[in-house]
């Protein structure tokens, strides 16, 4: 190939000729010390987004009917000195060994991020049907116990660039935890927004953080909470379900809607949002799906291909493929446990499964990919893990 030097003047040619000497001089003058590789930016990034944090239970507080709040501090002996900052609404994924199984479960951080600056997180955990890890925490975990958690994850948080300042939060049962964190952050001056929480539960006893919310309501006009009881009557609370009129009561000119609760709540709210002509772009969902068909109780073989091995275990129709792998000590990749992050994505080699439609990305559909954390067996199944 011929070099086209047209357009280059004599000065350019001389400058080009000097490049070699200049380069030599720079190399000659530079320090002989090893190249610096630990940059402050990397250090800050790993403090903000650690892959793993070792924590110790410092305190356990009763948090209502069958629920406890666990105050966590860094487990310095295992190497964690500082807990990462988080945004209200984010979760951490706990990894814990229970008998022969290694389990990972996401739990929303239930305090204000200000606590993280004081090196503390709180997780509020409620006993659940079939909840191996939740029930283990309620019954067995004690002060001084240690375990590991991920860095803060998830994008169920208020984002000023995207969200309106008037937030209507709709919570069902233990789906209240992201909103107590947001409310605490408003009280601490970390979040600048107006938060109305429409909080549904079966009975009065099921409301978590009731007294704390009442305290906040008295102290700040920015926090409002309405309690809706579905299975109990009490003149101090709204009976029945969240209605269109109740949502309308708290709507401003611009609003964002945050939803967290069981599947039934999502289904009901979707109908109401359509009636209110609220576009999807203003609605944010977390996922606390209680989608197990409790009427089925069958067991199938689940064969897992991983790392050149083939392992067959039993999987019940009431549990996800991921949950039965964990119970049998198969450490499958996972993070969110609600079909959203894609960490557990695996190939379905054969068999029939029930997976929730919204658990797959568009690009994954029709390619025999599944998210085992949101998939239940309907026959003997063979899957291949990503590694
Ligand atoms: S663990 Fe996140 S999609 Fe399965």
Q: Binning pLDDT at 50, 70 and 90, where does residue 275 land? A: very high
**Average confidence (pLDDT) over 359-385:** 83
Please give the number of the atom of ligand 1 that sits closest to the Cα of 336.
2
Computed over every residue of the chain, the mean pLDDT equals: 88
From the CB of 341, is ligand 1 less than 6 Å away? yes
Say yes or no to pLDDT of 158 above 80.
yes
From the CB of 222, is ligand 1 less than 6 Å away? no
From the CB of 56, is ligand 1 less than 6 Å away? no
Say yes or no to pLDDT of 338 above 80.
no
Domains of the chain (ranges, CATH numbers): 47-149 (2.40.30.10), 166-285 (3.40.50.80), 299-384 (3.10.20.30)
The reported pLDDT for the residue numbered 212 is 96
**Average confidence (pLDDT) over 242-257:** 96
Q: Give the per-residue SS3 of the chain.
A: CCCCCCCCCHHHHHHHHHHHHHHHHHHHHCCCCCCCCCCHHHHHHHHHCCCCEEEEEEEEEECCCCEEEEEEEECHHHCCCCCCCCCCCCEEEEEEEECCEEEEEEEEECCCHHHHHCCCEEEEEECCCCCHHHHHHHHCCCCCCEEEECCCECCCCCCCCCCCCEEEEEEEHHHHHHHHHHHHHHHCCCCCCEEEEEEEECCHHHCCCHHHHHHHHHHCCCEEEEEEECCCCCCCCEECCCCHHHHHHCCCCCCEEEEECCHHHHHHHHHHHHHCCCCHHHEEECCCCCCCCCCCCCEEEEEEEECCEEEEEEEECCCCHHHHHHHCCCCCCCCCCCCCCCCCCEEEEECCEEECHHHCCHHHCCCCEECHHHEEECCCEEEECCC
Q: Binning pLDDT at 50, 70 and 90, where does residue 354 land? A: confident
The reported pLDDT for the residue numbered 334 is 87
Distance CA 163, CA 255 (A): 8
Among 94, 374, 383, say which to mutate for ligand 1: greatest number of ligand atoms within 8 Å of CB: 374
Q: Is the dihedral of CA 210, 211, 214, 216 positive or negative?
A: negative
Pairing of strands 91-98, 346-350: unpaired
What is the chain's Cα-based Rg? 26
> Which range, of 20-24, 121-125, 287-291, 348-352, averages the lowest pLDDT?
287-291
Q: pLDDT: is 36 or 124 the higher one?
A: 124
Contact 301, 380 (CB under 8 A): yes
Among 323, 332, 343, say which to mutate for ligand 1: greatest number of ligand atoms within 8 Å of CB: 343
- Model pLDDT for residues 19-62, shown as the tens digit of each residue: 888 888 888 888 877 766 667 777 777 777 788 999 999 999 99
Q: Is 16 left (phi over 0), alpha (psi -120 to 50) or beta?
A: alpha
Say yes or no to pLDDT of 368 above 70.
yes
> Which range, of 20-29, 82-91, 172-181, averages the lowest pLDDT?
20-29
Contact 383, 349 (CB under 8 A): yes
From the CB of 104, is ligand 1 less than 6 Å away? no
Please give the number of the atom of ligand 1 that sits closest to the Cα of 337.
1
Nearest residue to 192 (alpha-carbon basis) of 182, 178, 202: 182
Please give the number of the atom of ligand 1 that sits closest to the Cα of 371.
4
From the CB of 343, is ligand 1 less than 6 Å away? yes
The reported pLDDT for the residue numbered 3 is 61
Distance 109 CA to ligand 1 centre (A): 18
- Model pLDDT for residues 277-303, shown as the tens digit of each residue: 999 889 988 764 544 555 678 999 999
The reported pLDDT for the residue numbered 288 is 45
Q: Two tokens at 248?
A: 């309308």
The reported pLDDT for the residue numbered 39 is 72
For the sheet containing 67-74, what is the strand order? 101-108, 91-98, 146-149, 53-62, 67-74, 121-126
Say yes or no to pLDDT of 201 above 70.
yes
Say yes or no to pLDDT of 144 above 80.
yes
Distance CA 93, CA 186 (A): 25
The reported pLDDT for the residue numbered 290 is 44
From the CB of 340, is ligand 1 less than 6 Å away? yes
For the sheet containing 283-285, what is the strand order? 238-239, 223-229, 194-201, 166-172, 256-260, 283-285
Say yes or no to pLDDT of 186 above 90.
yes
- Model pLDDT for residues 188-199, shown as the tens digit of each residue: 999 999 999 999
Angle 237-238-239 (CA atoms, 0-180°, nearest 5)? 115
**Average confidence (pLDDT) over 13-18:** 80
Q: pLDDT: is 3 or 168 the higher one?
A: 168
Distance CA 147, CA 150 (A): 10
Q: Two tokens at 64?
A: 């209502």
Q: Two tokens at 345?
A: 């994505």
């Amino acid at each position: 190939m011929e070099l086209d030097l047209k357009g280059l003047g004599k000065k350019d040619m001389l400058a080009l000729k000097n490049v070699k000497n200049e380069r030599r001089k720079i190399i000659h003058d530079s320090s002989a010390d090893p190249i610096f590789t630990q940059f402050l930016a990397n250090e800050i990034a790993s403090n903000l987004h650690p892959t793993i944090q070792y924590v110790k239970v410092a305190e356990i507080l009763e948090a209502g009917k069958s629920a406890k709040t666990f105050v966590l501090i860094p487990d310095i002996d295992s190497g964690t000195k500082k807990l990462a900052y988080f945004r209200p609404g984010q979760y951490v994924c706990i990894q814990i060994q229970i008998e022969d199984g290694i389990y990972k479960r996401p739990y929303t951080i239930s305090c204000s991020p200000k606590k993280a600056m004081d090196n503390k997180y709180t997780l509020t955990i409620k006993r659940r049907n079939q909840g191996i890890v939740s029930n283990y925490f309620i019954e067995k975990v004690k002060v001084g116990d240690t375990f590991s958690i991920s860095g803060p994850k998830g994008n169920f948080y208020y984002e000023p660039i995207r969200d309106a300042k008037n937030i209507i939060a709709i919570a069902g049962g233990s789906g209240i935890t992201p909103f107590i964190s947001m409310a605490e952050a408003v009280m601490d001056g970390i979040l600048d927004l107006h938060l109305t929480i429409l909080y549904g539960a079966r009975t009065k006893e099921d409301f978590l953080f009731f007294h704390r919310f009442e305290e906040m309501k008295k102290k700040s006009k920015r926090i409002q909470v309405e309690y809706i009881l579905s299975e109990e009557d009490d003149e101090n609370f709204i009976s029945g379900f969240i209605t269109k009129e109740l949502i309308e009561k708290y709507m401003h000119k611009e609003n964002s809607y945050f939803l967290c609760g069981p599947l039934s709540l999502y289904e009901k709210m979707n109908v109401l949002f359509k009636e209110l002509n609220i576009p999807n772009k203003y609605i944010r969902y977390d996922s606390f799906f209680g989608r197990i068909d409790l009427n089925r109780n069958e067991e199938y073989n689940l064969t897992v291909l991983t790392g050149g091995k083939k392992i067959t275990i039993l999987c019940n129709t009431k549990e996800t493929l991921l949950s039965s792998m964990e119970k049998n000590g198969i450490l499958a990749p996972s993070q969110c446990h609600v079909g959203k992050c894609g960490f557990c994505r695996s190939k379905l080699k054969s068999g029939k499964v029930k997976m929730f439609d919204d658990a797959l990305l568009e690009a994954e559909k029709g390619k025999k990919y599944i998210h085992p954390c949101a998939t239940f067996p309907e026959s003997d199944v063979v899957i291949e893990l990503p590694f």
